[in-house]
Structure 1
Amino acid sequence: MTAPTQLTAAAATGSLNTKDMRRILGSSFIGSAIEYYDFMLYATAASLVFDKVFFANLGPGFALFASFATLAVGYIARPLGGVVFGHFGDIVGRKKMLVLSMLIMGFGTVAIGFLPTTAQAGIVAPLTLVVLRLIQGVAVGGEWGGAALMAVEHAPAARRGFAAAFANAGGPAGAVLGTLALSLFAALSGKDFLVWGWRVPFLLSALLIAVGLVIRLKVSETPAFQRLEAAGAQRKVPLLDVLRHNKKSVLLGLAATTAFYVCQAMTTVWGVSVAVESGADKNGVLNIKAAAAVLTLVVCFYSARLSDRIGRNRVLIGASILGAVLAFPMLWLMTNGTLWGFGIAIVLGNGLVQGFLYGPIAAYVAEQFPTRNRYTGASLAYQGASMLGAGFTPMIVAGLSLAAGGSVGLIGAFWIAILAAAAVAVRVTPEGKGRELD
């Protein structure tokens, strides 16, 4: 029996507990975890290291703003990666693009580990940092679409939400690994952390990439793509096809996805920085952030399974409302200068609100597009949201804080507006639970 036939039989029984499905879900989870380890490691380093290593001559406030600007560059590149990898993923297949994205990400991350400081190389250092961040952004922009579709297109219809969550859950898992690695070497290197300690987690990426490649090379192409190939469907330029026939789906998916990215940026990037600046212990903040990411993982899987029962839309709208209610309490807790305050805020914002938004979102976005342009369309919506939500939020919030003299009023209003827009977008989107992908 061929692999596609086995997977079709598994889909008919509604089970994810087959040898092929376990390998596919494991590949989606582990591969995404490794790539997001690389990507989110940069986010944590931008909060704690890069303003001092690459932008120290700008002064504390503006150095942090410049560091967050380089963080945004990676998110700006993600839609480009989504379009490029989506094009070839829709033409030649999902699997090949997943392998290529991992190789590109590994190169960019290891190169950052070897990068000289501004004191050593002058302006070349921050410029090279920007280029390497662009490379990271292109790679992770191609990663999510492939990993999510490998799970969604292999899974039975009744379990798509839960299956797709394995690709998304790689994000917080990678964040845990990256945060713990940086925290560990911050403790081991002590006062030398800014000299060499921060580099080691970036260099360790080479080992993780090797493991991920071995796993990814063993999975099969998705049945949905194989059926498209077998039908001999004419496919020209997936991007033009999406813009012609699925533009509304892109815009609604982007608005819905932006909410969880803003929650992520508010708590795990800007929140980390402001908590440390307000007096909370740096290592304690990093350890709490890692613990909250574990909670995000648990809630992500729970909310994904819930979405298979009651629908993606109900879960996403409920989570958006919860986030809007908790926005100002979380901001006060993050900025009160205590570890307990930061801990409660990140458990609420990153663990619960983001977790409930995160679980169903991969299936929600993927189900809005047909097989012929699904990689491109889903990547456009998801990676566009990553650029707007995660890429610009730390910079926007830092600017709002400067403009308001340190007050969180404008920041809270911004956060609530994003969550309200997401709820409206989901409300007008057709429910995708149980929809036939082909």
Structure 2
Amino acid sequence: MGAGQDSDRGANGTAGAGALEQPNLVAPVDVPALSVRFWVLVAATGVLAGLAGAALMVLLHATAHLTYSYRSGSFLTAVERAGAVRRVAALAAAGAVAGIGWWLLRRWTGPGGSEVSTALWRDEGHLPLRRSLGTAVLSVVIVGMGASLGREAAPRLAGAALASRLSDWARIDTAHRRLLAACGAGAGMACVYNVPLGGALLTLEVMLGVLSLRLVLPALATSCIATAVSWTLLPTGPTYRLPEVPLSASLTVFAVLIGPFAGLAAVGWVRMVRVAHEHRPAGWRSVVAPLLVFTAVGALAVPYPQLLGNGKDIVQLALGAQLAVPALVALLFLKPIATAGSLGSGASGGLFTPTIATGALLGALAGQGWTLAWPAPAAGFAVIGAAAVLAAAMQAPVAAVVLMLELTRTIDALMVPLLFAVTGAVLVSRRLDTPSIYSVRLPAQ
């Protein structure tokens, strides 16, 4: 799914048959010239994606504050104060909302998918608006209640669905429809994390599978417009805060060595996601499964409250070296299991922050041993691990590096070590013929 796939395309512009190739049947590089009308649609998509993303995040935070009865402070602090019984009860309630909500949504909206990847690569950029927006709302509600899933799936889906509806209205061709839907998805991601450049690269490298000069401008425009619009309601600071980490020989050598291990961790994580997706329940089981799985996650959160939510607080704790070795080991195994289990129960949610959390835990744990022999700032280990696992799991090294830069805004000195780790991780994952966490959930043809 990364930019390197462009060199693997045949002369007709279609992708090859390898597991890593872009599933599009119509290559994005074949998009005709962009007309004035298309640029108007780009601007409209950016505005709508920004408004939708901001509204969804307001709903997410309102749900979290209501569920755990807090007005300020971090989500993790509120969960810890809530107590064991409330954690289990909140997750059980989230499971009931997920199971009943999506069952009703399917009955109300009828057949049709609401996955961005499937729409872009199999359905010519078409997304049903009601079902997609309903799925997005349910997704942020259960994440706000503590589900171990990422929050980015909802704004990505909403942005792509709104772009798809604009395409219907403007009656544009399939190539432009796909491009606009991908830009809408990237813009939705960009605005909720305040990562305009990262959102544009996500559009190009992950969703379109190619870095092309013709496609860069619409991707940048939609992400920048959406991010600026979201500033009216959402914070403008970095997602993660960490102390300044100077460049050191210790971190550079560590990055070279940890890269392949991060790649193996990403391979295991992607395969776990594939198994979970393949075993999603159907029929009446789709109502019961979320209740059972979410309640089990709530029980695990009694000793490990960090499991609840998308994993943002885990990353912050790892960056601040606030987790002891036993907690790092436990969370490194339990967080992916909780997230994959939640996805496998039939719930809809993102994998972006859970993937970063897995990488940060791996880097922090490895760094605990490394620093005994060759000391280095603890935050550097977590950032390097997070970027490497994210890059290999998304099959998007450029987007992953830029996203980590924008999410933290303080890793300039770590750029060379970061690139070493990302390169090693992606090489291992590609050597093992591993798809991305997005393409692995495509339905079988």
Flag the structure with higher helix content. 1
TM-score (norm 1): 0.32
TM-score (norm 2): 0.32
